[in-house]
Amino acid sequence: MAEVVLTKTGGMLFGADDYSREYIKKQPSGALLKLKVSRPKETRRAILNRYSHAIYREAAKLKQEGFESDEKAECKLRHGIPILINDPEDGEECEDYYRRLMTGLDYEERLARMYESHKFYIPVTSIMTDPQMSKYLDRILKDYARQGYSILTPKERKFINYPEAQQ
């Protein structure tokens, strides 16, 4: 009996390599297969990206205006670009890049270019290093707090709802 390696991605199982995918396709209906399920190691970057999207979603929900994508665009423009521009190694190059792409545009058009669907989309968080991304997340959380919005994880929300935690 051949060993087939599957990868779990979300709630689905996929053949991890071409051999495994082809082998599965060739098996008759009801055939017994020895399966080895593997879960790809999650990168720190994937965790930071998921966390940033959770923050955008929560902020949009708390503000009760706009959508997650609006929050994302606003944060990238107001916090992401300054972090990249102030980087000690690549800051000058980033400043020149963003200045050339944004000069002469009003705020609304600058904001529009932060949306991935815009034809002149300008990347921000996708080019950040992990330390820059961490700094970015810290800044946007502090900014939302200054505006009066407490961005909490579901676990933190659950904890706050415990009566004994409120004493």
Number of H helices, E strands in the chain: 8, 3
Nearest residue to 125 (alpha-carbon basis) of 84, 89, 68: 84
Question: Domain locations in the chain?
Answer: 3-38, 44-152
Enumerate the β-bridge partners of residue 5.
Answer: 36
Confidence at residue 8, expressed as pLDDT on a 0 to 100 scale: 53
Tens digit of pLDDT at every position of the chain (167 positions): 556 665 555 555 555 567 766 776 677 766 666 666 666 677 888 888 889 999 999 999 999 887 889 999 999 999 999 999 999 998 899 999 999 999 999 999 999 999 988 888 899 998 999 999 999 999 999 999 999 998 887 777 777 776 665 55
CA dist., res. 10 & res. 46, Å (int): 13
Confidence at residue 17, expressed as pLDDT on a 0 to 100 scale: 66
Confidence at residue 29, expressed as pLDDT on a 0 to 100 scale: 66
Nearest residue to 142 (alpha-carbon basis) of 84, 69, 59: 59
